[in-house]
Amino acid sequence: MLSSKVSRADLPLAAAWVLLRRLLYGAFVLALVALAAALAVAATPRLFGYGTLAVHGGSMGDSIPNGSLVFTRWIPDEDVEIRDVILVREESAASPRIHRVVAIYPEGGHVAVRTRGDANKTPDPNLYVLPDRVATPARTVPYLGYLVGLVVTPLGWGLLVALPATLLCLFALRAIWAPQHSATAEPHVL
């Protein structure tokens, strides 16, 4: 039995609104699950001794494309060979550089290397003295570095985490506090 306040013409519109709300809610949940999965892919390897690096440059060409997420493992400095790809950190740079070793120079108990990006025509101008442990790529996942790189920016955090979480909370609070109407309920008569 229909309530006197709801006409038959309003039922398709109400059903469409309910469907739209459910679809939006599902999309937000799916986006948060995808984001959590991407962050887990980037963070979980650290528990097993691996590191992660989002590539922000094209100097390695097709071997490690821009926007890739690189999972790194540690090797001793004496195990580094010519043609190995390693991560080196310049003192003036905030993030490490990932390049291929083109020359090795033993220096008084330490190892110094000259590197070059695969897409670069000339080697890097500086020699790098390697620490006792050197990070080298174990696996590269194209495009995932874009997502990880976006999440660490304030805009990315807001768009991918804060906004969907806020909307999910608002939908949940509205569902909790909104009065529940039933199409079959009889109106109360005073």
Q: Whole-angstrom Cα distance, residue 184 to residue 107?
A: 86
Secondary structure (H, E, C), 13-53: HHHHHHHHHHHHHHHHHHHHHHHHHHHHHHHHHHHHCCEEE
Mean pLDDT of all residues in 150-167: 79
- Per-residue pLDDT tens over the stretch 115-143: 999 999 999 988 999 999 999 999 999 98
Q: Cα–Cα distance between 64 and 57 in angstroms, integer?
A: 9
Instruction: Supply the pLDDT for residue 21.
Output: 82
Q: Which pLDDT value is given to residue 60?
A: 93
Percent of all residues in the chain with a pLDDT value above 70, rounded to a whole number: 88
Decide which of 17 and 85 is more confident: 85
- CA dihedral 179→183→186→189, nearest 10 degrees, is 50
The pLDDT tens digits for 54-63 are: 898 899 999 9
Q: Which of 54-68, 88-102, 167-181 has the highest mean pLDDT?
A: 54-68
The residue with greater pLDDT, 173 or 14, is 173
Tell the burial category of 32 from Cβ atoms under 10 Å away from its Cβ (0-12, 13-18, 19+): middle
Partners of 107 in beta bridges: 110
The two tokens of residue 1 are: 């039995």
Q: Are 100 and 117 a contacting pair, CB within 8 Å?
A: yes
Tokens of 113: 């290397």
